[in-house]
Amino acid sequence: MIPKENFLSWTRAHEWGTDIYARETLENGTRIEVWDSGVIVFTPAYPNQRDLVLSCAVHGDETAPIEICDELIEALKEGSLVPRARVMFLIANPAAINVGRRFVEENMNRLFSGAHSKGPGLVNAERMRAQKIEHYMERFFTEAPDGARERLHYDMHTAIRDSQHEKFAVYPYTNGKPYRMRQMQLLKAMGVSVFLLNEAPTTTFSYYSVNTFGADAFTVELGKVHPFGQNDMSRFVQTKALLRDLLTEDEPAVDDFDADDFLVYQVLRTINRTQEDFVLNFPDNVANFTEFSLGYELARDGETSYVVETEGESIIFPNAKVALGQRALLTVVAIPTESLELV
């Protein structure tokens, strides 16, 4: 378990602008650089063509991905894992981790692609950290060796509530490009075979990587929020195995692509909270991807009522307590995998 007060004992915070806070070279030739608290880069002696970013704790109470990253970091440090890929670990919101909350002042996953410098509340912990993270992402990708490279980013989360699909991935808007079978195969090897398509630009961390650096990036939901030490780590065996392969293998082995192996959802509606008088018309223990019948009132925002309009319409990411103007609920519907443009 990672102590809350010092979740990575060998990193220390520093002022943004310092080139490298700490550097060490292991006996196997791997170079370790600490760029900031929770920002750790491993560069192999002979790197392959993969630049990998593993991020967690954009929401500070989502502990399982933090523990997964910490385990991988320790294995790389002690030499039991010898990397072939360049990798940057980003423990995104240490301030929120240390207070045991989702965020200190503002939802960080609405602050990327420059959103940290727009709108009210221009100076707070999450906005300053998001701006720094964008700087570190640019630095990591631009410092890569010359040549064609694979850029991959998994932003790992756990959800506030249960889900009818324990693990799923949000596939960010591709800016009109086809969806990639290889990326879906890799996630399936992690135990993630359910995809939610985000079909418009957003200010999430994963879309920032897609749009700014052309990376294959995903928001990966790995289960439900639990306190440190209370995660059943046996549920992440496949996840950790694939991440280890991405670190150490040039081409991780995956199953052949079969459209029937995947379940794909498309967003129908985004319901934002615009009024103080906002309510969701279902209990807090209703799971993500729960389907409601036609005509059922899902939410009421002041005088506006939102009812189920489409057969098979399901809910995901409901949260009536979001700030005014932010998303309180998505509704989604399953679509055939074969309907996607795939390469």
Please count the other Cβ atoms lying within 10 Å of the Cβ belonging to residue 14: 15
SS3 196: strand
The lowest-confidence range among 20-24, 63-67, 148-152, 202-206 is 20-24
Contact criterion met (CB below 8 Å) for 170 and 157: no
Q: Which pLDDT does position 246 carry in this prediction?
A: 98
Q: Which two tokens stand for residue 233?
A: 């780590």
Which domains, and CATH codes, for the chain?
A: 4-259 (3.40.630.10), 265-338 (2.40.50.630)
pLDDT at 53 over 80: yes
Residue 187's nearest CA partner among 213, 214, 158, 222 is 222
- Which residue in 221, 297, 303, 341 is the catalytic one? 221
Give the rounded percent of residues in the chain with a pLDDT score beyond 70: 94
Tell me, what's the pLDDT at 11?
Answer: 40
Asked if the model's pLDDT at residue 5 lies above 50, the reply is no
Q: Do residues 84 and 44 lie in contact, with contact meaning Cβ atoms separated by under 8 Å?
A: yes
C-beta of residue 219 within 8 angstroms of C-beta of residue 192: no
Q: What confidence tier does 7 reach under pLDDT thresholds 50, 70, 90?
A: very low
Confidence of residue 20 (pLDDT cuts 50, 70, 90): low
Best CA proximity match to 336, nearest among 307, 312, 315? 312
pTM of this prediction exceeds 0.85:
yes
Instruction: Write down the H helix ranges in the chain.
Output: 63-78, 94-99, 125-142, 181-189, 205-213, 237-248
Find out whether 266 and 331 touch, Cβ atoms under 8 Å. Answer: no
pLDDT above 90 for 131: yes
| Cα–Cα distance measured from residue 31 to residue 13, given in angstroms and rounded to the nearest whole number | 20
Of the two residues 222 and 5, the one the predictor is more confident about is: 222
Q: How confident is the model over 9-13, as a mean pLDDT?
A: 39
- Is 221 annotated as catalytic? yes
* Confidence check: pLDDT of 126 > 80: yes
Chain segment 74-103, per-residue pLDDT in tens? 999 999 999 999 999 999 999 999 999 999
pLDDT in tens, 153-194: 999 999 988 999 999 999 999 999 999 999 999 999 999 999
What integer pLDDT is reported at residue 21 of this predicted model?
73
DSSP 26: -
